Amino acid sequence: MKVYIIIPAFNEEKVLKNVLNDLKIHFDNIIVVDDASDDTTAQIAEQEGCIVLHHLVNRGQGAALKTGIKFALMEKADIIVTFDADGQHRSEDIHNLVNPILNHKCDITLGSRFINPESTKKIPTFRKFLLKCAIVFTRVTANLPVTDTHNGMRAMTADAAKIISIQQDRMAHATEILEEISKHNLTFIEVPVLINYSDYSLDKGQHFGDFVKIIFKLFVHKLK
Amino acid sequence: MVLKIIVSFFVLFALSRVYLRYRDKSVGLFALIFWTILWGLVLFFAWLPRSSDTIARILGLSRGVEALLSISVVVLFYAIFRLYVKLEFIEHEITSLVRNLALKKK
């Protein structure tokens, strides 16, 4: 089974080498989509022997993910895993995501920090509040009983990847993927994952303004 | 009276811009006709403000100016929405182009 890891990356030179070294222990097919970084992100990924795709101009994480997924499908991937570049995710958790798919239990596995008690303790309070609001919002819009709506760790079969249509270029893609799962009745399982919170990743992560933008983007998308 | 003259000159200026854009093919015939009618209406109501009272009566408002302002606000909101949708479409086109270039290099 060919497993491809897709890592959308923008200006992650500080942490990317460690992230890739961690992944390379377990996986061979790592695709880094450099979303027009203006630091050495792309060079680091190339030095680490990854497949690097370059966006000439910055288009957003959703767009970068879609580029990576499209390439993985061209390479006849069987399973596609999405993974963040900021060091928040652990490579060991990927096995937990992939195993249910290998055992034909579902089309997609979604990482959830709220199932893992160890992870829950470390979530900053305001971030936890925003994530909980996002969960309520997603339950209304996607009618999906998930516990974590904005976790970048997920795995899917190639067939599921072909069905899911990501139109949102920026952060709203996370909610959009869940809406696509619901729309196409894809089967999914949530898997506990540990999120490593650092000052770096918290600074890079989403803030209140981002959540407002996501809701606005999704609302306008539905009006079109 | 001074205001009417100022508005008239501005309308003539705006119409000249529209015509020049039509002549250099930046906008089509439909846009030329649309903007000519729109600026024509601005000129019309500037010189005959009382004619807007008829519109006001139909809308249940007391003054013609209120009617014109209300209609303008609604039209502007719709125009902004259409522009936003157009902008989103262009953004998607750019993303498609960037993606195709990224994949082509491989």
Q: pLDDT (tens digit, 9 = 90+) per residue, B47-72?
A: 888 887 777 777 777 777 777 888 88
Question: What residue in A sits closest to B95 (Cα-Cα)?
Answer: A59
Residues of chain B with C-beta less than 8 angstroms from the C-beta of A33: 102
Mean predicted lDDT score pLDDT of chain A? 88
What pLDDT does A223 receive?
64
For residue A10, pLDDT beyond 70 = yes
Lowest mean pLDDT across A21-25, A39-43, A48-52, B42-46: B42-46
What pLDDT does B78 receive?
85
ipTM tops the 0.90 cut: no
pLDDT-derived band at A59 (thresholds 50, 70, 90) equals very high
For residue A208, pLDDT beyond 70 = no
Q: Over range A188-193, report the average pLDDT.
A: 93
What pLDDT does B58 receive?
77
What pLDDT does A72 receive?
97
What pLDDT does A201 receive?
66
Residue B101 touches chain A, beta carbons under 8 Å: yes
Residues of chain A with C-beta less than 8 angstroms from the C-beta of B91: 169
For residue A99, pLDDT beyond 70 = yes
Residues of chain B with C-beta less than 8 angstroms from the C-beta of A67: 99, 102-103
Residue B92 touches chain A, beta carbons under 8 Å: yes
Residue B93 touches chain A, beta carbons under 8 Å: no
Question: What residue in A sits closest to B85 (Cα-Cα)?
Answer: A224
Give the residue with greater pLDDT, A7 vs B64. A7
For residue B22, pLDDT beyond 80 = yes
For residue A224, pLDDT beyond 70 = no
pLDDT-derived band at B27 (thresholds 50, 70, 90) equals confident
Question: What residue in A sits closest to B88 (Cα-Cα)?
Answer: A221
What pLDDT does A207 receive?
66
What pLDDT does B95 receive?
96
For residue A38, pLDDT beyond 90 = yes
For residue A142, pLDDT beyond 90 = no
φ/ψ bin of B61: left (φ > 0), alpha (ψ from -120 to 50), beta (otherwise):
beta
**Helices (DSSP H) in A75-147: which residue ranges?**
92-102, 117-122, 125-141
What pLDDT does A169 receive?
92
Contact (CB, 8 A) for B99 and A63? yes
What pLDDT does A141 receive?
78
For residue A6, pLDDT beyond 70 = yes
Q: Over range B18-38, report the average pLDDT.
A: 89
Q: Over range B82-100, report the average pLDDT.
A: 92
Residue B104 touches chain A, beta carbons under 8 Å: no
Residue A106 tokens read as 């579902």
For residue A144, pLDDT beyond 70 = yes
Q: Which of A67, A220, A224 sits opposite B102 (nearest CB)?
A: A67
Q: Which of A53, A169, A223 sits opposite B95 (nearest CB)?
A: A169
What pLDDT does A140 receive?
80
User: How many CB pairs below 8 Å do chains A and B form together?
Assistant: 43
Q: Over range A106-112, report the average pLDDT.
A: 95
Residue A176 tokens read as 């959009």
Cβ neighbourhood burial of A217 (10 Å; 0-12, 13-18, 19+):
buried
Whether residues A54 and B95 touch (CB distance < 8 A) is answered with no
For residue B18, pLDDT beyond 70 = yes
Q: Which of B99, B101, B105 sits opposite A63 (nearest CB)?
A: B99
Residue A213 tokens read as 């933008």
Amino acid at A55: H
For residue B1, pLDDT beyond 70 = yes
What pLDDT does A205 receive?
64
Instruction: Sheet containing A154-157: give its strands across.
Output: A51-54, A29-34, A3-9, A79-82, A154-157, A108-112, A188-192
Q: What is the largest CA-CA distance in chain B?
A: 68
Helices B29-47/B2-23 angle, 10° precision: 170
Q: Over range B73-96, report the average pLDDT.
A: 90
What pLDDT does A11 receive?
95
